[in-house]
């Protein structure tokens, strides 16, 4: 059962073990973010994985949202 969790981002237990992917693809969000963090441009990622600019930017926005919501416990 596919579930959209963010614009252009979906999870499905049958796709990539339920990890967030670009909706309609098998491209994991963490792969997109990792490629950009590793130095690829948005255009290079788009071409490499056949994605639109909006899909790539959605992956970045989703990752930013997760970091924003993360709470760090100090001991």
Give the percent of the chain with pLDDT over 70. Answer: 100
- Tokens at 26, concatenated: 């098998």
Pick the CATH number of 3-65 from 2.40.160.10, 3.20.20.80, 1.10.10.10, 1.10.150.130: 1.10.10.10
Distance CA 12, CA 16 (A): 8
Domain ranges in the chain are 3-65
Assess contact for 50 and 35: CB atoms under 8 A.
Answer: no
The per-residue pLDDT for 75 is 83
pLDDT tens digits, one per residue of 7-26: 999 999 999 999 999 999 99
Assess contact for 21 and 29: CB atoms under 8 A.
Answer: yes
Mean pLDDT value across residues 26-33: 98
């Amino acid at each position: 059962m596919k579930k959209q969790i963010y614009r252009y981002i979906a999870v499905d237990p049958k796709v990539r073990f339920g990890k967030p992917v670009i909706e309609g693809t098998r491209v994991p969000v963490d792969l997109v973010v990792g490629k950009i963090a590793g130095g690829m441009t948005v255009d290079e990622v788009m071409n490499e994985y056949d994605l639109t600019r909006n899909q790539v930017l959605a992956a970045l926005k989703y990752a930013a949202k997760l970091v924003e919501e993360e709470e760090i416990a100090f001991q």
